[in-house]
Amino acid sequence: MSTQETAPSTTVALAPERVAQHRRYLMCRPEHFTVDYTINPWMDPAKPTDTAKAVAQWQKLYDLYLELGHEVELIDPLPGYPDMVYTANGGFLIDGIAYGPKFRFVERQGEGPAFIDWFREQGYDTREPRETNEGEGDFLLAGDVILAGVGFRSSDASQDELREIFGREVVSLTLIDPRFYHLDTALAILDPVVEPGAEVGVAYLPHAFDERSQAILAERFPNAILVSDEDGAVFGLNSASDGRNVIISPRATGFEKQLRERGYVPHLVDLSELLLGGGGIKCCTLELRGARA
């Protein structure tokens, strides 16, 4: 028998210490928020909205990002564009290159030029979109691979445009449940930065995807957190993570527990008012990756 001591078995189950990565985000104060059209199943113009409450809830998210040490840029809200608060749809940026959005529905199409102008003014290498795409709502960076959602909003052809612009592998994932019409409502990236080759922490709702896509996700992310339909249906996955702090809806109680078990630190922010427009935490947050030119 060896005389060497072995670590007590309890330490084996301890979750790893997670490290926060500094983030830069773009947000838009919901000064003109309301629901006066329906372009996703969550939106019902007959239900009253409260713009002041939307602003107050949004402010809590903004303040929390600053408290966590992140930087937040703001784009001016345009009157007549109540969905502009969902800045995730305003583009997709990696390494200082900004790929502009081209919205599927006419109600949001006027937002496109406003985001593109903002990227230009800020000095990003800005690319005008040829194809219909709703930015980071459908495109998520996982390590050095781009996960791209199709089925409801962004077109198949936008994935070729992504490959041309960013020269990276693009993995197409098909969304099949109309409640989860953007990729960021069905899948969350928990580790925005990882060592080359390391598995990226992700969480997703399996049955929001078709079988082909579920198989791809299972193969690429064998250790992913699989969330329940209950947590998915309250937009639990529509969350923002810096690699340690994960900002989620207070209604996603199961997901909160799963995150803690993995060593992440959940922070609860209630955006119930913005959920009336079919959006949550991630929808209100666009990652600004890379320096301006």
User: Least separation, in Å, of the C-beta of 268 and ligand ARG?
Assistant: 19
182 binds ligand ARG (CB under 6 A): yes
User: Least separation, in Å, of the C-beta of 143 and ligand ARG?
Assistant: 21
C-beta of 116 vs 183, nearer to ligand ARG? 183
C-beta of 18 vs 246, nearer to ligand ARG? 246
Stretch that binds ligand ARG, among 85-93, 122-130, 190-198, 200-208 (CB under 6 A): 85-93
User: Least separation, in Å, of the C-beta of 258 and ligand ARG?
Assistant: 21
C-beta of 143 vs 277, nearer to ligand ARG? 277
User: Least separation, in Å, of the C-beta of 39 and ligand ARG?
Assistant: 4
Residue 28 designated active-site: no
Q: Pick out residues in 24-43 that bind ligand ARG (CB under 6 A).
A: 39-40, 43
Residue 186's Cβ-side half-sphere holds a number of Cα atoms within 13 Å equal to: 28
User: Least separation, in Å, of the C-beta of 186 and ligand ARG?
Assistant: 10
102 binds ligand ARG (CB under 6 A): no
Residue 283 designated active-site: yes
C-beta of 134 vs 242, nearer to ligand ARG? 134
Residues 108 and 90: their CA atoms lie apart, in Å, by: 10
152 binds ligand ARG (CB under 6 A): no
Name which of 147, 91, 156 is nearest 124 in CA terms. Answer: 91
242 binds ligand ARG (CB under 6 A): no
* Binding residues vs ligand ARG (CB under 6 A): 39-40, 43, 83, 86, 88-89, 108, 137, 182, 184-185, 277-279, 283
Question: What residues act catalytically?
Answer: 182, 283
